[in-house]
């Protein structure tokens, strides 16, 4: 009996200790919202983001800054063979585009029908696959021309999209990430994103980098680094500092958009209506990359 009392006291002490540090990170992660974030047409009113961060927060540095179309409501970002491919949202303004990294120049663009709201984007073999927000409709394009080839249906909302070489990996704004068979877009398995047991909601744009899922968390300047096996958040990036270069009152929205260049080990990030795209390097020696 005494053993169990001591055990309970031990567990309680550990929980209190962990809770102390999680709370501290929670305070550190309270993100001030700009007035322009109300422009996000997902219908959210202003709200304070109180994300509990128990996993470690890594440092980073900006390696290079590139121009980015400030009219692009970035919903999906992918890097392939020297070019960025971007999916933009908003009804009547959604598109898929091929962009020159160095100049931000749009090389090729395909507008989407007005009733579709562009979301996640990833290359799969010789095609690009794009999600839409609430239409339960996916689009498949020829990778070379961005010509639309076909559509497909899926249940629920579509937010972020990436792939791990075997499956398409899909977010829907909740804490759930689903794995789809790329041949038929059927769900194979799912994980719940958690940080020390706490579900992390609003998982948005995705990128698969060196065996881990990187995810924007909607309406925060945070990127979660997630285990694809368990859903556990292994670490965080807080990119609020990237906003420092933007003019006060400019029309920038939330951080959204992660792309990875595996050949040169480069990570690119941007946001909705951001005038810049950043190459960043994670410099925390405990994190690879």
Interface contacts to Ca ion, rule CB under 5 A: 77, 207, 258
State the minimum distance, in angstroms, from the CB of residue 208 to Ca ion: 8
Minimum CB distance to Ca ion smaller for 77 or for 224 = 77
Hey, how many other C-beta atoms are within 10 angstroms of the C-beta on 251? 16
Minimum CB distance to Ca ion smaller for 25 or for 212 = 212
Tokens for 271? 């946001």
State the minimum distance, in angstroms, from the CB of residue 258 to Ca ion: 5
Cβ atoms 158, 131 nearer than 8 A: yes
User: Nearest-CA neighbor of 49 among 240, 248, 178?
Assistant: 240
Minimum CB distance to Ca ion smaller for 54 or for 131 = 131
Minimum CB distance to Ca ion smaller for 77 or for 255 = 77
Cβ atoms 243, 36 nearer than 8 A: no
User: Nearest-CA neighbor of 260 among 235, 281, 237, 236?
Assistant: 281
Q: What is the CA radius of gyration of the chain?
A: 19
State the minimum distance, in angstroms, from the CB of residue 283 to Ca ion: 22
Minimum CB distance to Ca ion smaller for 54 or for 213 = 213
Cα 114 → chain centroid: 24
State the minimum distance, in angstroms, from the CB of residue 143 to Ca ion: 15
State the minimum distance, in angstroms, from the CB of residue 141 to Ca ion: 16
State the minimum distance, in angstroms, from the CB of residue 207 to Ca ion: 4
The burial of 245, by beta-carbon neighbours within 10 Å (0-12 exposed, 13-18 middle, 19 or more buried), is given as exposed
State the minimum distance, in angstroms, from the CB of residue 106 to Ca ion: 18
Tokens for 127? 């095609």
Minimum CB distance to Ca ion smaller for 213 or for 233 = 213
Instruction: Write the DSSP symbol of residue 126.
Output: T
Minimum CB distance to Ca ion smaller for 18 or for 63 = 63
Which helix (DSSP H) or strand (DSSP E) does residue 92 occupy?
none
Please tell me the distance from the alpha carbon of residue 192 to that of residue 89, in angstroms, as a whole number.
Answer: 25
Q: How many residues are listed for the chain in this entry?
A: 289
State the minimum distance, in angstroms, from the CB of residue 42 to Ca ion: 18
Which residue of this chain has its Cβ atom nearest to Ca ion in the complex?
207
Sheet with strand 148-153: strands edge to edge: 118-124, 127-132, 137-142, 148-153
Please tell me the distance from the alpha carbon of residue 207 to that of residue 121, in angstroms, as a whole number.
Answer: 10
Minimum CB distance to Ca ion smaller for 77 or for 169 = 77
């Amino acid at each position: 009996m005494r053993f169990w009392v001591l055990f309970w006291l031990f567990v309680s002490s550990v929980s209190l200790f962990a809770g102390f540090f999680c709370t501290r990170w929670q305070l550190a992660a309270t993100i001030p919202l700009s007035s322009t974030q109300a422009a996000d047409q997902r219908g959210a009113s202003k709200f304070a983001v109180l994300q509990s961060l128990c996993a470690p927060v890594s440092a980073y540095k900006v390696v290079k800054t590139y121009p980015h179309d400030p009219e692009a409501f970035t919903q999906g970002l992918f890097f392939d063979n020297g070019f960025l491919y971007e999916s933009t949202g908003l009804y009547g303004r959604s598109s898929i585009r091929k962009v020159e990294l160095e100049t931000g120049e749009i090389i090729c663009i395909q507008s989407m029908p007005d009733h579709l709201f562009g979301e996640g984007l990833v290359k799969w073999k010789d095609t690009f696959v794009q999600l839409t927000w609430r239409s339960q409709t996916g689009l498949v394009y020829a990778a070379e021309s961005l010509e639309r080839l076909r559509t497909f249906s899926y249940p629920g909302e579509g937010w972020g999209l990436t792939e791990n070489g075997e499956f398409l990996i899909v977010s829907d704004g909740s804490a759930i990430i689903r794995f789809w068979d790329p041949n038929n877009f059927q769900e194979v398995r799912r994980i719940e994103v958690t940080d020390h047991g706490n579900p992390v909601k609003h998982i948005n744009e995705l990128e698969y980098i060196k065996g881990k899922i990187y995810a924007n968390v909607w309406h925060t300047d945070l990127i979660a680094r997630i285990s694809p096996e368990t859903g556990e958040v292994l670490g965080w990036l807080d990119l609020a500092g990237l906003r420092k270069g933007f003019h006060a009152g400019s029309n920038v929205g939330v951080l959204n958009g992660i792309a990875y260049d595996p050949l040169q080990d480069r990570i690119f990030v941007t946001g909705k209506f951001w005038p810049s795209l950043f190459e960043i390097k994670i410099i925390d020696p405990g994190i690879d990359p």
